[in-house]
Copies of this chain bind each other. A is one copy, B any other.
């Protein structure tokens, strides 16, 4: 089994911070996106590979738990971990401060495969994805 986590480092940019001096809650999904892209790249199943494989993988559920606010120019690590792959892609996220290691945010997203030939949702993950994971089917 290959490694199923990936981590990116982000320095909170000016435009993500709101009038209260903290990151607007909707911007965290940008950070998760970046970590998820790194994770999917790692298993060689990023956006272009998904497309090539004949499947789209829309996000059907997203959740964010805000533990501590993030502030301007704070440097954080965002770790994405694949937690389910048989009936879709479930990824958990953790954001933590690069200095203190304090966890600031948690989240999860769920994606399901859609067969691009007939636009139907797949209730089991397609073989092409499971092979990327080295899972025998």
Contact = CB atoms under 8 A, between A and B. Distances in A.
Interface of A: 13-15, 17-22, 24-27, 29-30, 33-34, 37, 46-48, 56, 58-66, 69, 72-73, 109
B60 A69 contact: no
17 contacts: A13-B34, A14-B24, A14-B37, A15-B24, A15-B30, A17-B19, A18-B19, A22-B58, A25-B59, A25-B109, A26-B27, A26-B62, A46-B73, A47-B73, A59-B66, A60-B66, A63-B64
- Tell me the number of copies of this protein: 4
Nearest to A64: B62
B13 A72 contact: no
B73 A66 contact: no
Given A14-B47, A19-B72, A63 B66 contact: no
Given A14-B18, A17-B19, A47-B72, 11 more contacts: A14-B33, A15-B26, A15-B27, A19-B21, A25-B29, A46-B73, A58-B69, A61-B66, A62-B64, A63-B63, A63-B64
A37 B109 CA distance: 26
Tell me what chain A mostly uses at the interface: helix, strand, loop, or mixed: mixed
A59 to B, nearest CB: 4
A37 B66 contact: no
Q: Which of A26, A30, A109 has the most CB of B within 10 A?
A: A26
